[in-house]
Amino acid sequence: MKKIGILNGEISSVVSKMGHKDLIAIGDCGLPIPDKTKRIDIALTKDIPSFMDTLKNVLLELQVEEVILAEETEKNNPKIFEKIKKQFQNVKFTFISHEQLKIMLNDCKAVIRTGEQTPYANIILRSGVIF
């Protein structure tokens, strides 16, 4: 049995196989996930697990060089936006439209679907390197 880190086998597997520049997304329960993209559905009930709890746990194991957010996030979900900003130091932020973000899901190794039920609680993370 794994002692530390992400216990979810699917998430742990995807993160461990990511290389430099690979993408992974974390989204609220309403984010439309393309059929061809791996869906890791951890939604249990309303807001469980939360977007932020999921993001924090993924960040324990994933080196991130870029955060991609919908430009609508700051205005429509300022609480989540501020919490996201606090998680990253010296990381590039890129803002695109929510429609563009949904298109980019096609390029992600996986999308983790949480139980989050607030608008625009979605993020794409670009993997960095640790050296």
The residue extents of the domains of the chain are 22-127
Told to judge if 62 belongs to the known catalytic residues of this protein, a careful annotator would answer no
**What are the pLDDT digits (tens) for 60-92?**
999 999 999 999 999 999 999 999 999 998 999
CA-based nearest residue to 12, from 2, 25, 20, 23: 2
Q: CATH number of the domain at 22-127, out of 3.40.720.10, 1.10.10.10, 3.40.50.300, 3.40.1650.10?
A: 3.40.1650.10
**What are the pLDDT digits (tens) for 43-65?**
999 999 999 999 999 999 999 99
Higher pLDDT residue, 5 or 67?
67
State which H helix or E strand residue 71 sits in. Answer: none
pLDDT number for residue 127: 98
70 carries a ligand binding annotation: no
User: Which residue out of 5, 7, 13, 20 is catalytically annotated?
Assistant: 20
| First-last CA distance in the chain | 29
Question: What is the pTM (predicted TM-score) of this model?
Answer: 0.96
25 carries a ligand binding annotation: no
The backbone torsions φ and ψ at residue 65, rounded to the nearest 5 degrees and listed phi first, read: -110, -15
